[in-house]
A and B are shown apart, each in its own frame.
Chain A
Amino acid sequence: MKPLFGSVVLDVACRLSVPFIILFAIYVIVHGHDSPGGGFQGGTILAATFILIRMIRQDVKPWGLDRTGALVLACCGLLLYTGIGLLSFLFAGNYLDYGVFPLPLEAGKIRFMGSFGIEIGVSMGVTGVLVLIFDALTEEDSQDDKPGEPT
């Protein structure tokens, strides 16, 4: 693969900024419950790191996240999401009714934990899908794989 933007300056800038971006992403995800933010936004930010690394360092496999990895990540995230939703059936609640989980916490916290799980699932899904979209758009020999898309 021919380098797209490869240069030392960009490389250093990338190295410097990536940890902070990830930190910010995690912050946004974690505080999705009670402040602006959440899984979508956080997942998008997280995906930005992967895409940045791919663009600048020509590393198609940052932290092991190649194409298949992205697919697996997306699927696992969405499975987490649907799984938590389905889990509430076990405790006689409706779908996504995570107030019913028998956790040793106060009622509001239980809802928070449930939606936090959902946010993590969503952010994994969004990250995976966005990376997949990026990969699909930049791949060289075009076999027509289309990415799935998030909820």
Chain B
Amino acid sequence: MMSDILGHLNYWLATLLLLIGLHGMLIRPNLVKKLMAMNVMQVAVIMFFISLAVKTGGTAPIELHGDGHTTPHAAAYINPLPHALMLTAIVVGVSTTGVALALLIRIYRYYGTLEEPELLQRMQE
């Protein structure tokens, strides 16, 4: 049991972050907090992917030219693919956040609140 948890600590942490994010998105009444929770959730997935590629003592898979350097053995490279993917995921996340913030600003300008209960009340009127 303990070894399950410790052996896959990265998974558990990612899951924890994911749950925190989900909880925030579903439960929090404040729309900005929902948005922040959304970012937490995205970070959870990013962490998960990156942790897949972690290799203790590994190096970046970059050819280093010039003298004094020996090209490390290919097995020592850290898999670059998850990093590249997560770079894209980060860009996607930033764009989503940007759009969401623009929406929130528009909502706030019109209704003067970002608390969901109040918002619903004002929308009824």
Contact = CB atoms under 8 A, between A and B. Distances in A.
Interface residues on B, range: 10 to 19
Contacts, number: 33
B109 interface: yes
A137 B63 contact: no
A149 B95 contact: yes
Interface string B86-105: 01000100010011011001
Given A35-B62, A40-B91, A137 B102 contact: yes
Interface stretch (A64-72, A89-97, A140-148): A140-148
A63 to B, nearest CB: 23
Interface of A: 34-36, 40, 126, 129, 133, 136-137, 142, 144, 146-147, 149-151
Given A40-B87, A142-B105, A147-B98, 10 more contacts: A34-B62, A126-B91, A129-B95, A133-B98, A137-B102, A142-B106, A146-B102, A147-B102, A150-B91, A150-B95
